[in-house]
Each structure stands twice: as C-alpha cells, then as structure tokens.
Amino acid sequence: MQLRNPNLLRGESYIAGMWQQGEDLQTFAVLNPATGETILNVADLNDRDAERAIAAAHAAKPGWAALTVKERAKLLRRWFDLIMENQDDLTLILTTEQGKPLAEAKGEIAYGASYIEWFAEEAKRVYGDIIAPPNNSQRLFVIKQAIGVVASITPWNFPNAMLARKAAPALAAGCTFVAKPAHETPLSAIALAVLAEQAGIPAGVFNIVCSSSAPTIGKVMTSSPLVSKLSFTGSTQVGKTLLEQCAGTVKKTSMELGGNAPFIVFNDANLDLAIKGLMSSKFRNAGQTCVCTNRIYVQREIHEAFVEKLSTAMEALHTGNGSRAHVNIGPLITTKAVAKVTSLVDDAVTKGAKVIYQAKVDTNAGDIDTHFYPPTLISGVNKDMQISRDEIFGPVAAISIFDTEEEVLASANDTEFGLASYFYTSDISRVWRFGEALEYGIVGINEGLISNEMAPFGGIKESGFGREGSKYGIEDYMEIKYMCLGGI
C-alpha cells in the first residue's frame, strides 16, 4: 500500500498515549477481502490489556472532563482537520481492509469526520434547566455531566465512521473512551488513533484495543465497574449478549443493531426518483449496512415498469476489487457472508421467486472470485422466504408485489426490527399518514440516503436504542443531575 503518510499504517494498539504490542506479544492477520492477502499482522491483546486501557481511560477522565468545552472542541476540531488532510491515505487503508470501492471509502472518511466536526460544535450547546420549586424555600436545577468511561464495540462495515460517531460525542461531552474495533478491520481505527495523538488529545482519553477475541474484550468491557457506558453497533444477537453482560454493573448502553428495511413504491411515485433512491439504499457498501433496503414492495400496477427500470440501472454496477477505478460493488467481507447471501437467494428461488437479473463479477488476477456476490434482482418474494426476514447484507434486490396501503403497512411492520424504512409517493396526505404509521426509527420519504451527522440515527424494537449524530447524540453520553437547594 503506497501511503503519503506511512505512519498511519500501524499494527499496535493505543493505550494511555502509548503504542502497545500487548502482554502476550501475539498477532493476528488483517486480510484484504478482495484478494485474501495479509495486509498487516496486528498485535492481539488480551483481557489484562483491556483492563489497562480501561484504567488509563479512568485515570484520564477527571483531567479531560475538567477542560472547558472550548478546549475540548478545539482538540476535536484539530482531529477533524487532520483526518481530512489525510483523507486519501485513510481511504486506501479502508478499501484495502474492508473492500468497499475507493469512492465510497473516501465518502466514509468524510462522513466519519463530519461527526467529529459536528460534536466539536455541539460540545458548546449542552444546556441545563431551572425548574419551578414546590415551595419558596427551595431552588431546583438540572445540570448535565459526562457519564465517565465509555467502551465501544464497532463492526467491520464502517470501520472509520462507526467509531468516529461514537467517540466524537463521548469526547465532546467530557467522557474518555476505549474502543474495540472489529478484528477484520482494525487498521482504520488505529489510523484514527494516530491522528488523535497528533491532534494533541491527551494520553488515556482515546484508547484502542485490538484483539482476535471479541468475547474476551467484550467481557472485560461489560463487567468492569470503571466503565459507565457501552456503545455497540453490530448484530442484534451480539447486542443481546452484551446487554445481558452489562446488567451485572447496570451500565448505560446504546445499541445500534440489525435492520430489515422495507422500501415501498406506491403507484403514484416518481419512478425515476425511486430507482435512484433504491440504487443507493440497496447497493451502498455492496448491501452491507444496517440501513440498506432489505425488502422492496412495489404496487402491482407499476411492478413491470419498475423491474425493467431497475434491471437497466443495475447494469451500471461493476463488481470487483474496490481499488479499481470503475468498480462500484466490492467483495463481501468474508466467504461466510457470501455463503449466507447465496443461501438466502437459493431459498427464495426454491420457494418460487424468479431471478430477473444477475450481474457478472469482474475480478482481476489475484482476486478471489468466491469473495464476491454479483448484484442480483429477484421478484415474487413472499414472507415465507427467509430473505424477507433476515438481514441480507449483500447486493440482492428482493421484490414483492402489493395491492393496498393497509396490506403493505402490515407487511412493512411485520418484523422484529425497526431501524430504517423508505417509501415513495406523491400523495402528501399519505406522506404523513404512512410515515407516522411505520414502526421505524428512521423514515426516508422519496429519499434513499438518510444518514448524515445532523440527523438522529437509531432504531426501535430489536434494532436497538440510543441516537447517534444530531443535537440528540451528545445526550447519550451525559447524565442528568438534579440539584435541590434549600433554606432560602
């Protein structure tokens, strides 16, 4: 990998302001998902290393919380500037370890950085309250204070942005932070730590613990009495385990878990707009995001026209190694992920769905074909097929036909998940009626790209709780304290 700033590619963890090999001096390999080649061997930390990171964050907490918000904001702003100055190198690291095409990786670096910029500003806008007292001898106040040490566990699909959007509000609020990135993609997280150090964020405030054993580090994070909050993004299954583990020390938690997003197109929709929205919400990161469209519902009268337009649009998808300029669909993260998508499509086809379009995979010498799944369009999907119940996490567009608004609302809400949803219509009454009736934390209306740092990202039901980004995001990292002054 040719980087302008080779210091960004490191294989150590960052604890207490020092680069660390870990007590056991073991390493694990980080692989390029397109080629299977080892990019770097990264220090494999154990439970005692994680405890040291938590102790470092705990020790750094009083000093960090005591800085003025302007001082913390300035350091966060410096971190943001450095990330943007190093955007091209960070992009290359991200594509190499995660697989997403370069243009998307570049977008992710800017997206992640936007949370740091936003929360550097929001740090200055935390307000308390004065409450009318029940009698004249009292005065009642509400203040907000940093929760304390925050631990985070983040996934491989957005190795930069998921970490940045947890660390930024936490640090802005005055919390200190210990991150465990996914073992598939630790290099982007380590690079963020290199830049945090360079920005002058004090030792112990931002720590990274890389490990091949997530359950080991997770146990330490969830059981340590020094950790006040756990913020997790990943599968609902692992989220539930972590919630159970956090119960022992009654930690606050934010859980950004799986989704099963419906994408509904009514007869009166602008079809071209709907296709544009679907292409971005379905195929972003090769379909590997928790807000990716999972179930597409098209009203009967427009089904044929919609399928035709979608097949044509999908011809513009080029699947291959994300480091090649024209590629816009990269590999899936592992062969296990490819096997899961394959089995969902096979199950749907066995139960009667039809494959309408399947793209070709265009790999180079050195790429491993079995790491890629071709963009595929199937129609005739129904709720008995596993593909309509599970997160696909792959580039498969699965269409069902519906007749009435009532019917499609029931289908859309018939899931344990409640993260993102999308619908297209030109009927303004339906915009409100249907938007309010969808049981989701996020509703895209005539829009397929709903994520940005100014908006509250998060789900309901088994998609989790807590909100990331927006004016609400910093609240997740603050405690409310009520003070009652008597004897007046």
Ligand X SMILES: NC(=O)C1=CN([C@@H]2O[C@H](COP(=O)(O)OP(=O)(O)OC[C@H]3O[C@@H](n4cnc5c(N)ncnc54)[C@H](OP(=O)(O)O)[C@@H]3O)[C@@H](O)[C@H]2O)C=CC1
Residue whose tokens read 């989704």: 259
Q: Answer whether 297's CB lies under 8 Å from 264's CB.
A: yes
Q: Where are the beta strands (DSSP E) in 32-172?
A: 38-44, 129-131, 139-146, 149-153
Q: State the nearest-atom distance from the C-beta of 183 to ligand X, in Å.
A: 3
Q: State the nearest-atom distance from the C-beta of 390 to ligand GUA, in Å.
A: 15
CB-wise, 9 or 94, nearer to ligand GUA? 94
- 12 is a contact residue toward ligand X (CB under 6 A): no
- Residues in 177-206 at the binding interface with ligand X, rule: CB under 6 A: 182-184
Residue nearest to ligand X (CB): 218
Q: State the nearest-atom distance from the C-beta of 455 to ligand GUA, in Å.
A: 10
The only residue of 241, 249, 270, 311 in contact with ligand X, by rule CB under 6 A:
241
Q: Answer whether 241's CB lies under 8 Å from 453's CB.
A: no
- 375 is a contact residue toward ligand X (CB under 6 A): no
- 194 vs 13: CA distance, rounded Å: 10
CB-wise, 260 or 425, nearer to ligand X? 260
CA 194 to chain centroid, in Å, comes to: 21
Span from 13-21, 24-32, 112-120, 149-157 in contact with ligand X (CB under 6 A): 149-157
Residue 451 contacts which entry, ligand X, ligand GUA, none (Cβ below 5-8 A, type-dependent): ligand GUA
Q: State the nearest-atom distance from the C-beta of 361 to ligand X, in Å.
A: 20
- Residues in 260-319 at the binding interface with ligand X, rule: CB under 6 A: 290
CB-wise, 244 or 407, nearer to ligand X? 244
Residue 179 contacts which entry, ligand GUA, ligand X, none (Cβ below 5-8 A, type-dependent): none
Residue 443 has phi, psi (to 5 degrees) of -130, 115
CA 180 to chain centroid, in Å, comes to: 14
CA of 175: how far to CAs of 3, 28, 280, 371, in Å? 32, 30, 35, 39
Residue 298 contacts which entry, ligand X, ligand GUA, none (Cβ below 5-8 A, type-dependent): none
- 295 vs 64: CA distance, rounded Å: 45
- 75 vs 117: CA distance, rounded Å: 10
Residue 183 contacts which entry, ligand GUA, ligand X, none (Cβ below 5-8 A, type-dependent): ligand X
- 24 vs 11: CA distance, rounded Å: 14
Taking residue 82's Cβ as centre, other Cβ atoms within 10 Å add up to 22
CB-wise, 157 or 254, nearer to ligand X? 157
For ligand X (CB under 6 A), the number of binding residues is 23
Nearest to 31 by CA among 445, 394, 371: 371
The two structure tokens encoding residue 380: 């005739």
Single-letter residue type at 152: S
Q: Answer whether 138's CB lies under 8 Å from 110's CB.
A: no
- 233 is a contact residue toward ligand X (CB under 6 A): yes
CB-wise, 165 or 303, nearer to ligand GUA? 165
The only residue of 153, 265, 296, 420 in contact with ligand X, by rule CB under 6 A:
153
Residue 23 has phi, psi (to 5 degrees) of -60, -40
- 157 is a contact residue toward ligand X (CB under 6 A): yes
Q: Would you give the DSSP letter of residue 468? A: B
Among 104, 108, 184, 256, the active-site one is: 256
- 230 vs 180: CA distance, rounded Å: 11
- 215 is a contact residue toward ligand X (CB under 6 A): yes
The two structure tokens encoding residue 75: 């350091």
- 218 is a contact residue toward ligand X (CB under 6 A): yes
CB-wise, 95 or 233, nearer to ligand GUA? 233
Antiparallel, parallel or unpaired: β 13-15 and 18-20: antiparallel
CB-wise, 12 or 391, nearer to ligand X? 391
Q: Helices 87-98 and 102-122, interaxial angle, to 10°?
A: 120
CB-wise, 222 or 233, nearer to ligand GUA? 233
Q: State the nearest-atom distance from the C-beta of 79 to ligand GUA, in Å.
A: 19
Residue 413 contacts which entry, ligand GUA, ligand X, none (Cβ below 5-8 A, type-dependent): none
Q: CB neighbours of 389 closer than 8 A, spacing ≥ 6?
A: 260, 383, 415
- 214 is a contact residue toward ligand X (CB under 6 A): yes
CB-wise, 110 or 214, nearer to ligand X? 214
- 258 is a contact residue toward ligand X (CB under 6 A): yes
Q: Which residues bind ligand GUA (CB under 6 A)?
A: 157-158, 162, 233, 256, 289-291, 451, 457
* Radius of gyration (C-alpha) of the chain in whole angstroms: 23
Catalytic (active site) residue 256: yes
Residue nearest to ligand GUA (CB): 451
Span from 105-113, 252-260, 263-271, 310-318 in contact with ligand X (CB under 6 A): 252-260
CA of 112: how far to CAs of 14, 327, 424, 450, in Å? 20, 22, 28, 15
The two structure tokens encoding residue 164: 């940045």
- 238 is a contact residue toward ligand X (CB under 6 A): yes
Residues labelled as active-site residues? 256
Residues making contact with ligand X (CB under 6 A): 153-157, 182-184, 214-215, 218, 233-235, 238, 241-242, 256-258, 290, 391, 393
